[in-house]
Structure 1
Amino acid sequence: MSEAERRQALSEFLRTCRARLSPADVGLPDSRRRRTPGLRREEVALLANIGIAWYVSLEQGRDVHPSREVLESIADALQLTTAERQHLLVLGGQHPITSFVTEDEIMNPILQMAIRALDPHPAFVMGRRLDILSWNRAAAAVLSYGQDVNSLPWNTVWSHFMDPCTREVYPDWETSAALMVAHLRTGRASFPNDPWFGDMIDKLREESSFFRLCWARYDVDRVDQVDGHKEMNHPILGYLEFDSVTLLVPMQPGMRMILYNASPATLSRLEHYLAVSSPEYLVQHDSD
């Protein structure tokens, strides 16, 4: 993401957030003569207690540099959630932005051992690009849908949109797909020097109409909904239930460990499946 692209992203985000609010939402008198939905620019500037020209410059993507206080005031005016507020600060240049590191993400051997020890509960590590970097046997069984894990493109956002199986596996496929888009958008803002994000977004825009729809919504608030109850209709294991939790990995920006805590019935199925399955089939190569 170049500086011009960052300013354009900030402009689009502000317009999207402004358009979803009505005057009544923010305690302003409603006017019936509105050509477009949402608040007017001057109303946002009034609520944020900043100059109209300054706010207009931000929405027009001009080369201005708002302070953190200004961005916080705009966030208050637009009633942004915590996730949206963080995204605004990143786009506005007032939040730590991680420079792209050319080296591969480094997996801590102790973390790998911990993940494998969590069997039969699925556990895996996801990188900044939403790749699955390390996993245990239960995660391989659940996330591969019975395919050879060593031949899979283990990028969750690409497979979620491009693998037809995912629509059948996840009852809430559209919700989880929108969550993937939110993570992709916030990742692009947090790692502006990594060209992978722009390339992946372009490919998905070309290949998936639903991705284009989700991308246009600018719904970054979903990144706060990563944990919680998950259901799957697995082609081999049948109906599965989990409660997921996500933990950040220190010293590895963008890397996180995800644990699927299986329900009793799901745990029983996983234990049986892992007992009769080939260990070599369900684990990554030692070089990974």
Structure 2
Amino acid sequence: METTNAIRDFLLSRRARLRLQDVGLPDDGHRRVSGLRREEVALLAHVSVDHYIRLERGQAWRVSDAVLHAVADALRLTPGERGYLYSLARPSPHPPEEPAGAGVRDSVQHLLDSLTDAPAYVVGRDGAVLAWNHLAAAVFTDFALVPPGRRTIGWLVFTHPQARTVYADWELKARETVAYLRTEWGARPRDRALARQIRELGDADDCFRRLWSEQVVVDLTRGSTRINGPSGVQLRLSWDTFRTTGDPHEVVIAYTAADRDTSAALRGLSAAGRTPSRRLPDAPSTS
């Protein structure tokens, strides 16, 4: 998963999804290839064909920021896709690798526990679930029963036996998860543990392998999902992400009710309080 290949594969996928009529170019009806040619992307971006070819070959250091922005405009990249392309083309210096987070502060766990009507958990580097409240355990799964090496978003969504039952929109959740892992890898392509997790997920699940090949990139700051709740009620939830520390890889994901039935069901689960909250006491391993 070299970054040069990643840039090439991403740009190829993005020009392949566009049609001539999408970008205002004439179509004589005799097109033999799908998507845009390199020359057409260069034309739309107002850059030389040589500049675009350099970029698509992964030689991002040989093109200016202006060319990078112009190509992103020509390919009509979403904000999330732009961020992914820029992270590949302009990688920031990476400090020496440190072990994945060994837990969260007491104050963060108290924050989770205070959300009595909202399932919430903390995700750290490489998607490790570091802490959660009792509603998150009741709605999604009892994370404490999951081995630390598999207590990551990727492993939970694609290999946990209950995942496809719990998520009513499992395909949507799967796409979001792959997009998250791709964004993480784009920011830290030298993270060997993350690369290993991605490789092993591809070996373990055909759907993951397919979605990864599709270059899925989506907005990961907010969204919605439907959960088949333990009470038999389908929960309609909205989710948002929040950062609570200086660690850019540690975020709180909180889910709130999107309708009255869900709100009542969450209150019932909260009142039952059968599953305790938990803070991860040891660093998860991805091996």
Q: Tell me if TM exceeds 0.5.
A: yes
Partner of 1:265: 264
Q: CA RMSD in A?
A: 2.4
* Cα offset, 1:30, TM superposition: 1.4
Describe the superposition over 1:168-223 as per-residue Cα deviations: whole angstroms up to 9, x where unpaired. 11110011101100111110011122112211111111111111111111121x2x
Partner of 2:57: 60
- Residue 253 of structure 1: which of 241, 248, 256 is its match? 248
Structure 2-normalised TM-score?
Answer: 0.87
- Residue 104 of structure 2: which of 103, 107, 110 is its match? 107
Does 1:191 pair with 2:188? Answer: yes
In the aligned structure 1, how far is the partner of 2:115 from the partner of 2:9? 42
* Cα offset, 1:67, TM superposition: 2.1
Amino acid of the residue matched to residue 247 of structure 2? Q
Gaps of 5+ in 1: none
User: What secondary structure, in the 3-state scheme, does the structure 1 residue paired with 2:62 have?
Assistant: coil
In the aligned structure 2, how far is the partner of 1:52 from the partner of 1:148? 54
- Residue 81 of structure 1: which of 59, 78, 82 is its match? 78
In the aligned structure 2, how far is the partner of 1:104 from the partner of 1:80? 32
In the aligned structure 2, how far is the partner of 1:138 from the partner of 1:42? 53
Partner of 2:214: 217
In the aligned structure 2, how far is the partner of 1:49 from the partner of 1:225? 31
Partner of 2:224: 229
* Cα offset, 1:97, TM superposition: 6.0
In the aligned structure 1, how far is the partner of 2:104 from the partner of 2:143? 24
CA contact (8 A) 2:242 2:253 kept: yes
* Cα offset, 1:119, TM superposition: 2.2
* Cα offset, 1:62, TM superposition: 4.3
In the aligned structure 2, how far is the partner of 1:26 from the partner of 1:233? 41
Kindly report which structure 2 residues correspond to 1:156-167, keeping only aligned pairs within 5 A, or say none: 156-167=153-164
Describe the superposition over 1:30-64 as per-residue Cα deviations: whole angstroms up to 9, x where unpaired. 14343320111011111111111121122233474
Amino acid of the residue matched to residue 160 of structure 1? V
CA contact (8 A) 2:123 2:129 kept: yes
CA contact (8 A) 1:120 1:137 kept: no
In the aligned structure 2, how far is the partner of 1:139 from the partner of 1:130? 16
Taking structure 1 as reference, are residues 97 and 52 closer, same or farther at Cα in structure 2, changes over 3 Å only? same
Taking structure 1 as reference, are residues 189 and 123 closer, same or farther at Cα in structure 2, changes over 3 Å only? same
Partner of 1:37: 34
* Cα offset, 1:265, TM superposition: 1.7
In the aligned structure 1, how far is the partner of 2:252 from the partner of 2:211? 25
In the aligned structure 2, how far is the partner of 1:132 from the partner of 1:147? 8
Does 1:207 pair with 2:204? Answer: yes
Describe the superposition over 1:67-106 as per-residue Cα deviations: whole angstroms up to 9, x where unpaired. 221110000110111111111111111x646546414336
CA contact (8 A) 2:241 2:254 kept: yes
- Residue 20 of structure 2: which of 19, 23, 43 is its match? 23
In the aligned structure 1, how far is the partner of 2:107 from the partner of 2:279? 16
Of all paired residues, the percent bearing the same amino acid is 35
Q: Which moved more, 1:235-244 or 1:167-176?
A: 235-244
Higher RCO (CA-CA < 8 Å; seq separation 6+): 2
Partner of 1:69: 66
In the aligned structure 1, how far is the partner of 2:209 from the partner of 2:30? 31
Q: How many residues align?
A: 277
User: What secondary structure, in the 3-state scheme, does the structure 1 residue paired with 2:256 have?
Assistant: strand
In the aligned structure 2, how far is the partner of 1:114 from the partner of 1:70? 44
